[in-house]
Chains A and B, each alone.
Chain A
Amino acid sequence: MQEAIGRAGAPIDGGRSAAERVMVEARSVSKHFGGGDQVVKALDAVSVGIREGEFFTLLGPSGCGKTTLLRLIAGFEHPTMGAILLDGADISALPPYKRPVNTVFQSYALFPHLTVADNIGFGLQMLGRPKAEIADTVDEMLRMVKMEAMRDRQTAQLSGGQQQRVALARALAPRPKVLLLDEPLSALDLKLRKEMQVELKRLQLETGITFVFVTHDQGEALAMSDRIAVMSEGRILQVGSPHEIYEHPADHFVASFIGETNFLTAAVEGIEAGQVRLRLGGALEVRAGLPEGMTPGERVTVVVRPEHLRIEAAGAGAGLPATVGDVVYLGTDTHYHLRLADGEALFARVQNRPEGGDGWQAGDAVAATFPPSAVRVLRD
């Protein structure tokens, strides 16, 4: 087992060649806490495959089971049902110290009685590596996270951002097959968080290690991930690239959790060749693709992202007639809150242009237009 972990000193490269190999697999994993009447199903038959060398994000609100899934991979918890596979081998029953997987904790959990260097070297020391090798790896890691000057400091003397870097270095030093990150950026202020996002992505590309990142921040997830799994109430709702998740949300929850969006009810007029003819707001007719395997009823819910909406003078084009409500100027954009004739609310984000825009006022009668391709039909 220790041989499997033993890749310290291996050349650092992108490691993208075998990108399709599954590194971590959850096979219908359930995790229940408590007993009797008070069983909490933290995870409910979750299956997912995380590929080697990818930056994979588990995204969802608190209590959705994302941290539980991470802890199951780390070995702090064991599945009630199902199995966790690492590189093809079932590791469900192994304790954390026998898994070639390391964790960056939300609280960093640096050892307060050890120096920065001893913290980083801890894992290698426990693996029984020779002293010289540990020292070399610690130096390499300190360089990698740009903390060379802090080598002999006590961890209590470090700032939050520095502790974060040490925690990363400590988890990467044993060259785990998978690095687990439990909301590692949540304790940092916005500016530092943005920096660390870039830093994390760089470290992941440099080391080629599979990163499994847990967050409730959709912006963070979109910015860093190769793929995202959106979770809610112990289930994975959708797995896909940031682009897929944002542009083609599978259901209501995913659409509302990732970015801001408009939900509209549409009447189904007819179905032709996988496409559906819809009538919106009683007036506008559009065609839209259907999610795989969906047979729509009489009415469906569709989403239109606010940045895909355009506002034009009433009657100027094929759009939904609306009245302008609140107008919020935000520098880069202006947000228009519109009300449709049938009472439904619509929200449009219009980018401000140097030449100045139309500058609609509250109470103006307008038409909200959008390209037909902006309309996405959601599963019920």
Chain B
Amino acid sequence: MAGAPAPGRSGEAAARAARIRRNWLLAAPALLLLLLAASGPLLVVVVYSVLEPAEYSGVVWELSGEGWFRVLFHRDIFDETVGLADAHLTIFWRSASISLLTTIITLLLGFPTAYFIATRPPRQRTLWLFLVTIPFWTNLLIRTFAIMEVVRNQGILNSWAMAAGIIETPIQILYTDTAVLIGMVYVYLPLMVLPLYAAMERLDFRLVEAAYDLYASRWRVLTRVIVPLVKPGIVAGSILVFIPSLGAYVTPRVLGGGKNMMISNLIELQFGEGRNWPLGAALSMTLLAFVMLALLFYVRNMSRLERRG
């Protein structure tokens, strides 16, 4: 019995090794799928971005930096002079600003919504959450066409405003950045509400009472207690809205018409009519870089929050 602890520990170690083996085995199919389905195509895109474009489409297997060069710069067709690719910069700026505005507006709209749901009796909350997720049940394209019906010149918004006497002639909303923004806010609002709700549901409302008791007005309670405590939800919701907004394709395509492109539409153009696959691939990588930056910000923010407890 004197040596009992040693065999006991080796038994524990063996059991743990078996458990780890089993877990890896369980994870194997998913890991394999991720490797093939995510990393594989990504590798193809990386390789394409450094090749020569073929005349009509596809690539010529010759190493070239032209694709990456054309992301930011423009070469004149006649005299080969180099300038900044203003069109691309405009599109990058539009993508970033529309995504940022979408994030801010969904946050402003989603925060009170999530607060409202989190303060309902538990049974009612399920119903409200269900209502928030209903738009997910319909195809994105169809929902976007529905928004088109709302904002177009003879659409609901304009005809009501005219009937109410607020405006005399229709306001051109469709095929503007405003239309894109409206569509994006509509599409991504649930992605903001859900993580905000998750954070607020965990919020101890007795802390809100404690703050009221300690002379904090409603506004101060919001800014000094509620917002700091639901910050993980705010960050998660913002990331969940910002990242897909940056890569949005359908909404700017339908509501922005051809001219108000965002990055994804530009990428599609290069793989289609533009017939410049390397440029398209390089633009894709640029978009990925933006997304990575946003994720990095998120991870740093979260780890700081967690360190603080």
A contacts, CB < 8 Å to B: 5, 74-76, 95-98, 101-103, 105, 107, 109-113, 122-123, 126-127, 154, 156-157, 170-171, 174
Contacts and interface: CB of A to CB of B under 8 A. Distances in A.
20 contacts: A96-B212, A97-B212, A97-B215, A97-B216, A103-B210, A107-B206, A109-B204, A109-B207, A111-B211, A112-B229, A112-B309, A113-B228, A122-B224, A126-B211, A126-B220, A126-B224, A154-B309, A156-B309, A171-B213, A171-B214
Contacts of A98: 215
A112 B232 CA distance: 14
A109 B213 CA distance: 11
A96 B206 CA distance: 13
Interface in B86-133: none
B291 interface: no
A113 B308 contact: yes
A352 B210 CA distance: 48
A contacts with B: majority SS: mixed
Contact of B214 (A112, A123, A156, A157): A123
Contacts of B210: 103, 105, 109-111
Given A113-B308, A154-B309, A126 B215 contact: yes
Contacts of B215: 5, 97-98, 123, 126-127, 174
Interface in B184-228: 204, 206-207, 209-217, 220, 224-225, 228
A102 B206 contact: no
A76 B212 contact: yes
Given A109-B209, A111-B225, A102 B309 contact: no
Given A76-B212, A97-B217, 12 more contacts: A95-B212, A96-B213, A98-B215, A105-B209, A105-B210, A107-B206, A109-B209, A111-B225, A112-B309, A122-B224, A126-B215, A171-B213
B229 to A, nearest CB: 6
Which of B211, B213, B225, B309 has the most chain A CB within a 10 Å cutoff?
Answer: B213
Nearest to B210: A109
A109 to B, nearest CB: 4
A76 B205 CA distance: 12
A102 B308 contact: no
Contacts, number: 67
Contacts of B213: 74-76, 96-97, 101-103, 171
A78 to B, nearest CB: 13
Contacts of A95: 212
Nearest to B212: A96
A105 B224 CA distance: 19
Given A112-B309, A113-B229, A113-B308, A126 B216 contact: yes
Please list the 4 inter-chain residue pairs (A to B) with the smallest Cβ-Cβ separation, ordered nearest first.
A123-B214, A109-B210, A126-B215, A96-B212
Contacts of A111: 207, 210-211, 225
Given A122-B214, A126-B220, A154 B209 contact: no
A107 B205 CA distance: 11
A356 to B, nearest CB: 49
A123 B217 CA distance: 11
Given A109-B204, A127-B215, A174-B215, A96 B209 contact: yes
A106 to B, nearest CB: 9
B212 A174 contact: no
Interface in B140-186: none
Given A76-B209, A111-B207, A113-B308, A126 B229 contact: no
Contacts of B212: 75-76, 95-97
A96 B228 CA distance: 21
Nearest to A113: B228
B209 A126 contact: no
Nearest to A96: B212
A113 B219 CA distance: 18
A122 B211 contact: yes
Contacts of A126: 211, 214-217, 220, 224
Given A113-B229, A154-B308, A105 B206 contact: yes
A110 B212 CA distance: 13
Nearest to A100: B215
A235 to B, nearest CB: 26
A5 B224 CA distance: 21
